[in-house]
Structure 1
Amino acid sequence: MSTYDEVEIEDMTFDPDTQIFTYPCPCGDRFQISIDDMYDGEDIAVCPSCSLMIQVVFDKEDLVEYYVEANLEPPGKIAVAV
């Protein structure tokens, strides 16, 4: 599978209400991926308006702060490096 680009999670926008990360797509829409999909190991965000996809670069422990921001508990234990 070919992706348009690699994007760091820090460069994406997180909406705590929808629990979706987004990033601008060249077509004018936004790539989207849910925090739960990322927790489950998915790292490909898709644009709903075109065929482009990006790979999201993140570590699972990066998701903890976003779950906290959304006032949610992660679906399972996330090991955090000390």
Structure 2
Amino acid sequence: MATTTETIYDQIEIEDFTFDPVTKLFQYPCPCGDRFQISLYDLQDGEDVAVCPSCSLMVQVIFDEIDLKSYADD
């Protein structure tokens, strides 16, 4: 699925996300009060857009493949 840059609210470094090792979800606060979220598995599959379940905003996750290895080992 191609996402145009007009639909991306911001670009956020993976280090700024909170990672839950149980659910394998990365989360980041959304201006609407909810949280953007994306799974480790989505990132490993090449997806880089985290979505907010409560509004239409999306952010692009900035990361290198090597960054994911430390999260997968948890």
Which structure has more strand as a fraction of its residues?
A: 2
What is the TM-score when the length of structure 1 is the normalising length?
A: 0.82
How many residues align structurally? 69
Q: Which residue of 1 aligns with 2:68?
A: 63
- Report the identity percentage: 65
Looking at structure 1, the residues matched to 65 and 41 of structure 2 have their Cα atoms a distance apart, in angstroms, of 11
Q: Which residue of 2 aligns with 1:46?
A: 51
Point out 4+ residue stretches in structure 1 off by more than 2 angstroms: none
Shift of 1:42: 0.3
Q: Which residue of 2 aligns with 1:34?
A: 39
Larger Rg: 1
- Alignment root-mean-square deviation, CA: 0.5
Deviations 1:23-76 (A, max 9, x none): 00000000000000000000000000000000000011100000112xxxxxxx
Q: Which runs of 5+ in 1 are unaligned?
A: 70-82
Looking at structure 2, the residues matched to 66 and 33 of structure 1 have their Cα atoms a distance apart, in angstroms, of 13
**In structure 2, what residue type is equivalent to 1:58?**
F
**In structure 2, what residue type is equivalent to 1:6?**
Q
Q: Which residue of 2 aligns with 1:72?
A: none
Q: Which runs of 5+ in 2 are unaligned?
A: none
